């Protein structure tokens, strides 16, 4: 059977692939600690599950409006006002089956064939693939350690051409955990406005921030940014609801209309009863979220302390639940005769030795590997013991 050239050029999602491999190795009885998953290891809070059950009992099992049920759109409007100081009308909100889907639809509706999209690296690899699928050209800007792996106004300015349409900002970042301050976003927004561009702001990790830092939405910084930013968010990470598949975006009215039209032909509405559960999620339970955040914070600090003890460098994350570990000192070394020539080899040989993590290459950072601290303290303890044993054997 023919497979389209478009489809053939799309690689599989590496995180999903490696997570599946870990599951398979475990089912074969191998002892393997997985630091790969991009999801909380908590169950969805009971009161959210209860509201989904209630929605099912109430017969909420049918199609809903493409852009989401009115109750959820209202809850999202309130959330933007409460958390981000952003005022939207319900017509500007599009609920989708996950932030990934919202991102795709936003890119699809902004980008024509050959249009350029600026993506600061390291970045979540889905961005690049989505831009390519939509016919756009990803323009990758390598950020620097001295700038906290965040794009600077001059780097942005230098990357802009007459084909540039939008820039993707992800704060806090997957994979680095970097968080842009208000001042940094303000400086970037001036460049964006000067060149009449738009921003797609992926704020999915907004609630997972540490050390007292504050998440700011670039959309809230000026009337221009409000009118020219697509804010993407969802319930997956904050409420431990990855499997429910509910995301959302806020966009200027005309673009929101286009996204709704396209979504009407791609995925239609997000799961009906998951939308009702998302209303409950967004309307309360701050203490539940705070408890999860504190647990992540504890694990983050624990992992950092273990790496410090091992003398291994990493990017100290201010948000999300990932640690990006610098493996440059191990590149060129060998494990039992197998040479580590980059992050792929490092990850692959380590997996054979009982620890799975994500290589940095697809994030455009081959000197790094990503571990998730959305895992239990016991797994961190055992996993890092294995990593230390692995590193000690390198020569």
Residues that bind ligand PLP (CB under 6 A): 38, 98-100, 124, 170, 174, 202, 204, 234, 236, 242, 247
Cβ atoms 374, 321 nearer than 8 A: yes
Give the nearest distance from C-beta 74 to ligand PLP in angstroms: 20
Whole-number minimum distance, CB 116 to ligand PLP, in Å?
A: 21
Query: With respect to ligand PLP, which residue has the nearer C-beta, 14 or 32?
Result: 14
Smallest distance, Å, CB 99 to ligand PLP?
Answer: 3
The smaller minimum CB distance to ligand PLP, of residues 242 and 353, is found at 242
Q: How far is the CB of 177 from ligand PLP (least distance, A)?
A: 11
- Between 16 and 339, name the residue whose CB sits nearer to ligand PLP: 16
176 touches 315 (CB < 8 A)? yes
Closest separation in Å from C-beta 97 to ligand PLP: 8
Between residues 173 and 367, which has the closer beta carbon with respect to ligand PLP?
173
Alpha helices in 179-336 (DSSP H): 182-194, 223-228, 253-266, 272-283, 286-310
We find the least distance from the C-beta atom of residue 163 to ligand PLP, in angstroms, to be 25
Q: Is the preceding peptide bond at 168 cis, omega within 30 degrees of 0?
A: no
Distance in Å, CB of 162 to ligand PLP, minimum: 29
Query: Which of 321, 319, 233 has the alpha carbon at shortest distance from 278?
Result: 233
CA 316 to chain centre: 17
Axis crossing angle, helix 99-110 with helix 253-266, rounded to the nearest 10:
110
Closer residue to ligand PLP in complex, CB, 172/354: 172
Nearer CB in complex with ligand PLP: 138/234? 234
Nearer to ligand PLP among residue 33 and residue 37 (C-beta): 37
Q: What are the b/e assignments for 331-357, b being 16+ CB within 10 Å? A: eebebeeeebebbbbbbebbbeebbbb
Q: Are strands 164-170 and 198-202 parallel, antiparallel or unpaired?
A: parallel
Instruction: State how far the Cα of 359 lies from the Cα of 14, in Å rounded to an integer.
Output: 9
Q: How far apart are CA 171 and CA 318, in angstroms?
A: 10
Round to whole Å and give the CA distance between 16 and 10.
14
> DSSP labels for 255-277?
HHHHHHHHHHHHT-S--HHHHHH
Q: Minimal distance in Å, beta carbon 105 to ligand PLP?
A: 12
Please identify, using beta-carbon distances, which residue of 170 and 220 lies nearer to ligand PLP: 170
Q: How many CB atoms lie within 10 A of CB 59?
A: 9
CB atoms within 10 A of CB 17: 12
Identify the CA nearest to 95 among candidates 78, 64, 71, 73. Answer: 73
Quote the tokens at residue 94.
């599009």
Residue 232 CB, shortest distance to ligand PLP, in Å, is 7
* Shortest distance, position 8 Cβ to ligand PLP, whole Å: 24
Backbone φ and ψ for 335, nearest 5 degrees, come out as -115, 115
What is the bridge-based pairing of β-strands 338-339 and 334-335?
antiparallel
DSSP 317: P
Give 16 or 377: the residue with its C-beta nearer to ligand PLP: 16
Strand partners, 326: 368
CB nearest ligand PLP: which residue?
98
Residue placing its CB nearer to ligand PLP in the complex, 232 or 327: 232
């Amino acid at each position: 059977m023919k497979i389209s050239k478009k489809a053939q050029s799309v690689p599989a999602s590496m995180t999903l692939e490696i997570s599946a491999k870990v599951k398979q190795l475990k089912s074969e009885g191998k002892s393997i600690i997985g630091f790969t998953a991009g999801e909380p290891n908590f169950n969805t809070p009971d009161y959210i599950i209860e509201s989904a059950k209630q929605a099912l009992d109430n017969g909420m099992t049918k199609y809903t409006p493409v852009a989401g049920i009115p109750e959820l759109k209202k809850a999202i409007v309130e959330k933007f006002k409460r958390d981000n100081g952003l005022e939207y009308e319900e017509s500007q909100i599009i609920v989708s089956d996950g932030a990934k889907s919202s991102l795709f639809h936003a890119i699809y509706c902004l980008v024509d064939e050959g249009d350029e999209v600026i993506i600061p690296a390291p970045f979540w690899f889905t961005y690049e693939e989505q831009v390519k699928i939509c016919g756009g050209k990803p323009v990758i800007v390598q950020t620097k350690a001295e700038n906290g792996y965040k794009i600077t106004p001059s780097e942005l300015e230098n990357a802009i051409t007459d084909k540039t349409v939008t820039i993707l900002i992800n704060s806090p970042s997957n994979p680095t955990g970097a968080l842009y301050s208000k001042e940094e976003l303000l400086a970037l927004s001036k460049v964006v406005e000067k060149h009449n561009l738009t921003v797609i702001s992926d704020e999915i990790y907004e609630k997972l921030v540490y050390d007292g830092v504050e998440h700011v939405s670039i959309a809230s910084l000026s009337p221009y940014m409000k009118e020219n930013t697509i804010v993407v968010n969802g319930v997956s990470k904050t409420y431990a609801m990855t499997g429910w598949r509910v995301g959302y975006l806020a966009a200027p009215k005309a673009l929101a209309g286009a996204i709704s039209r396209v979504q009407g032909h791609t995925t239609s509405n997000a799961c009906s009863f998951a939308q009702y559960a998302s209303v409950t999620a967004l309307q309360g339970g701050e203490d539940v979220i705070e408890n999860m955040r504190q647990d992540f914070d504890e694990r983050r600090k624990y992992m950092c302390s273990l790496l410090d003890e091992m003398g291994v460098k990493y990017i100290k994350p201010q948000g999300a639940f990932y640690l990006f570990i610098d493996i440059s000192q191990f590149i060129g070394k060998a494990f039992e005769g197998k040479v580590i020539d980059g992050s792929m080899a490092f990850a692959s040989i380590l997996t054979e030795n009982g620890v799975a993590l994500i290589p940095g290459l697809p994030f455009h950072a081959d000197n790094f590997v990503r571990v998730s601290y959305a895992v239990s303290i016991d797994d961190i303890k055992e996993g890092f013991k294995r990593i230390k044993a692995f590193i000690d054997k390198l020569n």
